[in-house]
Chains A and B, each alone.
Chain A
Amino acid sequence: MLRPLNTADHFTLMMDHEIRQSGLAGNFCALVFKLASHPDAEILSSRANAFVARFPETNVRLIQKGRRYFWQSNRDRKPSLFFHHTAETSEAGLDLIGDIINTATPATAAAPVAFHLIDMPGHSYFLLRWFHPICDAKGAELIVHHLLGDENKAEGEDAFAQLTAKWGVWKKIGMMYRAKRHIDSMDTISSSLPRTTAVVADRLKFHVMHFDNDTSKQIMARSMKEAGMMGTALYFIGCLMRALDRVGCDEGQGFCVPYAMNMRKRKALFPLLGNQVSFLFAQANLQQVRDRKQLFTSLREQYKATVRSGLDHALVPLMEAGSWLPLEKYGRIIRNTPKGRERSSFWFSYTGEPDPKLTEIAGAQVTSMFQLSQVTAAPSLGMLVSQYNGAITLSFNYVASQIAPEWLDALTKEMAAQLKGEETA
């Protein structure tokens, strides 16, 4: 049985191709929960088996037919999707997480989802690694929810397909050209990129920064004050733009950041699979970035104007057209300006609190969570923001050979200062 990839799935498959072309493992992501003790591994193993039986569409592999890609059922093969590891120290546990996210598997052989438990003295990590074409970050959260629960499966709620089914051919063509004009107008500003140190990429690394509850509250209050109720994601983006500018980037005239806009209804437990997202860009020139007030006003106005004019949805037909191109050509068009320069200054994701709330996994209390995502080189840097019990976590994902440790250290310190509204020298 074959199931076609939706347009947004295909977009992430194109990024898989681009990541591999950069010399990295592919478009693999992870959702990592830190646990206060050791959960029952047998329970997790049996739940993983039960999950695959309840959701057989997660037991698939990617195949190509002509220019199109499909998920093909693995129903005759029941691969184990649960892996139990042990590590002697916390540091070794984090290294293992690094190995898991960097394990290269060909796209056509990659398991769409796999669960890993890493036991260390006194605590554990539970990790879901997923192949991005199968679902987005919200879908990954829902997979963990359904792994641990027994809700019946709900059918026929593909938010992405429901949206695009409303549009006729001519409307799509009009939207596509509107989106293209929007991107052309952004390309008049060349993007500043993280200062890189080498040409050949090798391995994704990560640096996780947790803020305690009091500091997180202070950051969210400042976000509300400076970026408004609608601008939480924009606050994190704007602060990273300012932090990058302060620590120094490769030459450019401003920052351009793609970010996903989820089409799922909040609190809906389905759809589990499929990337149910469109995407938007946030852009600011250097003059705006250097004036904090002007930056957040400008990002908020830009966001409002983009949604008001329907440009968030207008990018969907553009992605649809792109999905008929060979992956290499599609990738070049999406990533590069006409002058051949990388458009994205960094990758960004903000998922907020897990919903439904997750307090324990197989008997072990969850204490924090963070996310990981492979990125292309360039820009070689992604920042994934999540919250757990109100506490904010920033996960900086970067290509090891491209980003100098001292530069990253300066960046993360500056980012913390920017979030708290502290002016640094």
Chain B
Amino acid sequence: MNDELKSFIFRELVHLPDATLFSDDDDLLEAGLDSMGIMRLVLFIEEKFGVTLPDEEIEPDNIQTLNRISSWIERHR
């Protein structure tokens, strides 16, 4: 799951010279994921993984790293 998320983020939303060096615990917000990007990421997750992520849960604790996003998705599966 993390690979698919990572691929989407660095292919579509954020530029990183070498995304392979970005770990699952690195900070996505520091890397450049912005509000528009978060919107696109949430819609990608909902479509790809068949979950509905409540708006009120879209907060840094759930978005900050790939591992946190995965846990968030798992809680709604």
**Which residues of A pack against B, CB within 8 Å?**
224, 228-233, 261-262, 265-269, 300, 303-304, 307-308, 352, 355
B58 within 8 A of A: yes
Beta-carbon contact of B58 and A230 below 8 Å: yes
Query: What's the interface size class on B, roughly?
Result: 20 to 34
* Cα–Cα, bound, A261→B37 (Å): 11
B42 contact set on A, CB distance < 8 A: 230
Beta-carbon contact of A267 and B31 below 8 Å: yes
Beta-carbon contact of A266 and B32 below 8 Å: yes
23 contacts between A and B (CB under 8 A): A229-B38, A229-B59, A230-B35, A230-B36, A230-B38, A230-B39, A230-B42, A231-B35, A265-B12, A266-B13, A266-B15, A266-B32, A266-B33, A266-B34, A267-B14, A267-B16, A267-B32, A303-B39, A307-B39, A307-B40, A307-B43, A352-B34, A355-B32
B45 within 8 A of A: no
Among A231, A266, A303, A308, find the residue whose CB has the most chain B CB atoms closer than 10 A: A266
Distance (whole angstroms) from the CB of B7 to the closest CB of chain A: 13
Distance (whole angstroms) from the CB of A182 to the closest CB of chain B: 17
- The residue from B16, B32, B43, B55 contacting A228, defined by CB atoms under 8 A apart: B55
B66 within 8 A of A: no
A304-B39, A307-B43 are known contacts; what are 7 more A-B pairs with Cβ within 8 Å? A224-B59, A229-B38, A229-B58, A230-B35, A232-B35, A233-B35, A269-B15
Beta-carbon contact of B13 and A229 below 8 Å: no
B69 within 8 A of A: no
A267 contact set on B, CB distance < 8 A: 14-16, 31-32
- The residue from A230, A265, A300 contacting B15, defined by CB atoms under 8 A apart: A265
Which A-B residue pairs are the 5 nearest by beta carbons? A268-B15, A266-B32, A267-B32, A265-B15, A230-B39
* Cα–Cα, bound, A352→B14 (Å): 16
B60 within 8 A of A: yes
Distance (whole angstroms) from the CB of A76 to the closest CB of chain B: 35
Among A229, A232, A233, A300, find the residue whose CB has the most chain B CB atoms closer than 10 A: A229
Interface residues of B in 29-73 (CB under 8 A from A): 31-40, 42-43, 55-56, 58-60, 63
A300 contact set on B, CB distance < 8 A: 55
A262 contact set on B, CB distance < 8 A: 36
Residue of A nearest to B59 (CB): A229
* Cα–Cα, bound, A261→B36 (Å): 8
- The residue from B15, B43, B63 contacting A229, defined by CB atoms under 8 A apart: B63
Residue of A nearest to B15 (CB): A268
Among A228, A231, A303, A355, find the residue whose CB has the most chain B CB atoms closer than 10 A: A228
A303 contact set on B, CB distance < 8 A: 39
Distance (whole angstroms) from the CB of B56 to the closest CB of chain A: 8
* Cα–Cα, bound, A418→B15 (Å): 35
* Cα–Cα, bound, A215→B66 (Å): 32
* Cα–Cα, bound, A8→B49 (Å): 33
A352 contact set on B, CB distance < 8 A: 34
B13 contact set on A, CB distance < 8 A: 265-266
Distance (whole angstroms) from the CB of A139 to the closest CB of chain B: 15
* Cα–Cα, bound, A261→B63 (Å): 21
* Cα–Cα, bound, A269→B16 (Å): 10
* Cα–Cα, bound, A308→B47 (Å): 10
A265 contact set on B, CB distance < 8 A: 12-15
* Cα–Cα, bound, A232→B39 (Å): 12
A355 contact set on B, CB distance < 8 A: 32
B14 contact set on A, CB distance < 8 A: 265-267
Distance (whole angstroms) from the CB of A303 to the closest CB of chain B: 7
Residue of A nearest to B10 (CB): A265
Among B32, B38, B39, B42, find the residue whose CB has the most chain A CB atoms closer than 10 A: B39
Beta-carbon contact of A228 and B58 below 8 Å: yes
Residue of A nearest to B34 (CB): A266
Distance (whole angstroms) from the CB of A323 to the closest CB of chain B: 24
Residue of B nearest to A262 (CB): B36
* Cα–Cα, bound, A233→B37 (Å): 13
Interface residues of B in 11-29 (CB under 8 A from A): 12-16
* Cα–Cα, bound, A300→B35 (Å): 12
